[in-house]
Amino acid sequence: MPVVYEDNHIILVNNAASEIVQGDKTGDVPLSEKVKAYLKEKYQKPGNVFVGVVHRLDRPVSGLVVFAKTSKALTRLNEMFRSNEVQKVYWAVVKNAPQEPEGELVHWLVRNEKQNKSYAYERERKDAKRAVLRYRMIAHSDNYHLLEVNLLTGRHHQIRCQLAKMGCPIKGDLKYGFPRSNPDGSISLHARRVSFIHPVSRLPIELEAPLPEDKLWNGFRFAH
């Protein structure tokens, strides 16, 4: 569980694909509990340790996750995520190059709870939520293209769904149309950077998560 940044109020972790951020029906130990155990051991704290879950990553996604270490930070971070004051940048590996090397995608997303899947539409419809992201192609290898995605809204499976709608499903993402899974069950989507104003000190924070160590990501390690 690599810690990217920690102070008295917040801790950011580079999450591995397949981890769950918060407990669910699988009963697997979530990342939040691992962070608690880490803090308990590091500071030799008796009793319970406070760790507040601010946001989540889909289970097959790797990258930066923000946790609060105090209730004050949790309250303020929750509000900052709600009002889009936290900038989130993702890297996505796709097989198909987009028609335009950069652009903005605007769709209306409808979530199907039973399928745990979202569907993107060009026009507003009942129960749909507006989803906006910006992308640009920043590198390519022999077989794949690397897109940098700036997430402007936070919808269910938003990046996965919108890139697939554009004809660029993420490598390994069977749910959204990629033909083959990745060997480890991950999808090639990485929460690369976050930037925000610290909820307590009010100083600017900008942090970057190292890329997963594998052959695919190694091919893009020097991209910017």
Q: What is the dihedral of CA 119, 192, 154, 159, to 10 degrees?
A: -10
Q: Which of 7, 24, 58, 184 is catalytic?
A: 58
Collapsing DSSP to helix, strand or coil, 5 comes out as strand
Structural domain count, the chain = 1
Residue 54: inside a domain: yes
Distance, CA of 158 to CA of 195 (rounded, Å):
19
- For strands 189-197 and 87-94, give the pairing: antiparallel
Looking at the domain assignment, is residue 116 inside a domain? yes
User: Has residue 223 been placed in a domain?
Assistant: no
The reported pLDDT for the residue numbered 23 is: 64
CATH at 209: 3.30.2350.10
154 in a domain, yes or no? yes
Tell whether 213 is covered by a domain. Answer: yes
Q: Residue 27 is part of which domain span?
A: 3-218
CA distance 96 to 166: 10
H-state helical runs in 20-169: 31-42, 71-82, 158-165
Q: Does any domain span residue 33?
A: yes
58 is catalytic: yes
* 139, two tokens: 């590198």
DSSP 158-188: HHHHHHHHTT-PBTT-GGGT-SS--TTS--S
Kindly give the pairing relationship between strand 62-68 and strand 189-197: parallel
pLDDT tens sequence across 75-105: 999 999 999 899 999 999 999 999 999 999 9
Mean pLDDT by 10 residues, the chain (224 residues): 94 91 75 94 91 93 96 97 94 96 98 95 94 96 94 94 98 97 94 97 96 87 66
Question: In the prediction, which pLDDT does 175 show?
Answer: 97
Q: Domain for residue 58, yes or no? A: yes
Gap between the terminal Cα atoms of the chain:
24
Biggest distance spanned by C-alpha atoms of the chain: 56
Does residue 224 form part of some domain? no
